[in-house]
Amino acid sequence: MSRVWLPCGYYHENYAKDQGWWQTPVIKGKMILLLFILFVVFPLTLSRYWLGVANMIGYTALGALGVQLLIGYAGLITLGHAAFIAVGAYTSTLLILQFPWPEFLINWGLAYPLSIIIAGIVAGLWSVLFGLPSARVKGFYLILTTMAAQFITVDFILTQYVSQIGGRGQAFSLPPGTIKIGPWVIDSDLKVYFLMIILLTLTVMMMSNLLRTRVGRAWVAIRDNDIAAETLGINIYWYKLLNFFVAGFIAGIAGAFWVANLAALSPEHFPWFWSLWLVGVILIGGAGIDGVIFGSIFMVMVMEFIQMGVISLGDFYPALMVKFLYIKESAFGLAICAFLIYEPRGLSYRWWQIKNYFNLWPFSY
């Protein structure tokens, strides 16, 4: 018998089935349709402006995935994740501009792909360095530790030392043709979009698979009750550091990707507000990987609509153009407050309710 509608009486018999990606043909069809829209429909229909917005959504999602891994799955609060994104961006840039790659790697266009992987590893190790105090502290004190990572990394090391390499001052220029994968030069919003959607898909697959393993279950146990987890034999310190490494690795990939969207790289691209922004994304989006996607779409689109409104009213109220940054920050704060009061579980919970309504129809009550 074909098991198409799982909620209507069919049940999983083992953990592998329960955690499977495509558990029914219906789910498989929806996933294939989603991938078709992302890889075919959007590139053919979106204008250059909306492709840029989509790239911003993807960059936000890549950055927020690491925050979700730390806060949502291990209970490790962070307010300095932008530092690890910056480490990934600068590592990739320095490898492209300064590292003496063998000639055949440059000719084959492999320098940038390799720099993405190395950037992830370096950012992961840097994240572990600031995760070391997590064995002794938690909560408010861990927040201060991660904030220290932001100020030490971006405001001190990158600004005062790394940015001065090569006598460039504060910014690294990325000439056209610098970013390439194989024979393809990443020099347009459409190519950046394809790079973004491929990296985001691979990262989501990696994170989803990892969360279904023993490691992912250990992180959830530590989040729920670290004392009980330690009693059950889980090495809390080891799994916390592993969580910091994986979160930093994803942040490094996000930073290396964002390099392809910039003409010049400087520390101003990674302010402390960006760390707060990523935390706001998962607060609004809710739990899980889908919460990261929903939160990223909501935050970026809302800010784009606000910017459109400010621009349209700029002729009548020129002061709005000057105060756009304050309007943006105020909207961010109001959105956080509104969701904490009226939708504390985030957009992913609302999406879960909608899916259940249709999956359980006509017994949706």
Same domain, 277 and 264: no
| pLDDT confidence of residue 358 | 77
| pLDDT confidence of residue 6 | 53
| pLDDT confidence of residue 11 | 66
Q: Is residue 7 predicted with pLDDT exceeding 60?
A: no
Domain contains 22: no
pLDDT tens digits, one per residue of 118-136: 999 999 999 999 988 877 7
Same domain, 266 and 327: no
pLDDT (mean) for 266-276: 91
- Reading the block at residue 46, the tokens are 């979106």
Domain contains 16: no
Domain contains 25: no
| Rounded CA separation 27/17 (Å) | 14
Domain contains 232: yes
Same domain, 289 and 215: no
Domain contains 223: yes
Q: How confident is the model at residue 8 (pLDDT cuts 50, 70, 90)?
A: low
| pLDDT confidence of residue 89 | 95
Same domain, 193 and 283: no
What percent of the chain has a predicted confidence (pLDDT) above 90? 53
Q: Is residue 2 predicted with pLDDT exceeding 50?
A: no
The label of the residue with tokens 């006509």 reads: 362
Partners of 184 in beta bridges: 181
| pLDDT confidence of residue 295 | 95
Q: Is residue 203 predicted with pLDDT exceeding 90?
A: yes
Domain contains 4: no
**CA torsion, points 78, 81, 83, 89, in degrees to nearest 10?**
160
| Distance from the Cα of residue 109 to its chain's centroid | 26
| Rounded CA separation 17/1 (Å) | 17
Pick from 80, 90, 164, 94: which is nearest to 127 by CA?
80
- Boundary of a domain, candidates 270, 303, 325: 270
pLDDT (mean) for 329-349: 90
| pLDDT confidence of residue 9 | 56
- Helix extents (H) in the chain: 15-18, 25-36, 42-45, 48-67, 73-74, 81-97, 103-107, 111-131, 140-150, 159-160, 189-211, 214-224, 226-231, 236-259, 272-285, 289-313, 319-322, 324-342, 346-359
DSSP 3-state assignment of 109?
A: coil
pLDDT tens digits, one per residue of 52-90: 999 999 999 999 999 999 999 999 989 999 999 999 999
Same domain, 122 and 193: yes
pLDDT tens digits, one per residue of 228-246: 999 989 999 999 999 999 9
Q: Which amino acid is at 65?
A: L
Domain contains 151: yes
Q: How confident is the model at residue 168 (pLDDT cuts 50, 70, 90)?
A: low
pLDDT tens digits, one per residue of 107-118: 888 999 999 999
Q: How confident is the model at residue 138 (pLDDT cuts 50, 70, 90)?
A: confident
Domain contains 20: no
| Rounded CA separation 223/74 (Å) | 5
Same domain, 141 and 182: yes
pLDDT (mean) for 336-365: 83
Q: State which residues form the domain around 101.
A: 32-270
Q: Give 327's DSSP letter.
A: H
DSSP 3-state assignment of 318?
A: coil
Total residues found in the chain within this entry: 365
What percent of the chain has a predicted confidence (pLDDT) above 70? 93
| Rounded CA separation 166/344 (Å) | 48
- Boundary of a domain, candidates 214, 242, 270: 270
- Boundary of a domain, candidates 270, 294, 317: 270
Count of Cβ atoms closer than 10 Å to residue 239 Cβ: 20
| Rounded CA separation 143/123 (Å) | 19
Q: Is residue 285 predicted with pLDDT exceeding 90?
A: yes
| pLDDT confidence of residue 19 | 73
Q: Is residue 1 predicted with pLDDT exceeding 60?
A: no
Q: How confident is the model at residue 312 (pLDDT cuts 50, 70, 90)?
A: confident
Same domain, 288 and 305: yes
Q: How confident is the model at residue 170 (pLDDT cuts 50, 70, 90)?
A: low
Same domain, 107 and 246: yes
Q: Is residue 169 predicted with pLDDT exceeding 70?
A: no
Same domain, 65 and 193: yes
pLDDT (mean) for 81-104: 91
Under a CB-based contact definition with an 8 Å cutoff, are residues 102 and 140 in contact? no
Same domain, 120 and 172: yes
Q: Is residue 5 predicted with pLDDT exceeding 60?
A: no
pLDDT tens digits, one per residue of 249-269: 999 999 999 999 988 888 889
Same domain, 330 and 231: no
Q: Is residue 281 predicted with pLDDT exceeding 80?
A: yes
Measured CA to CA in angstroms, residue 266 lies from 109, 121, 269 at distances of 24, 21, 6
Q: How many domains does the chain have?
A: 2
| Rounded CA separation 242/41 (Å) | 38
The label of the residue with tokens 């030490």 reads: 152
Q: Is residue 288 predicted with pLDDT exceeding 70?
A: yes
Pick from 240, 256, 263: which is nearest to 178 by CA?
263
Same domain, 120 and 188: yes
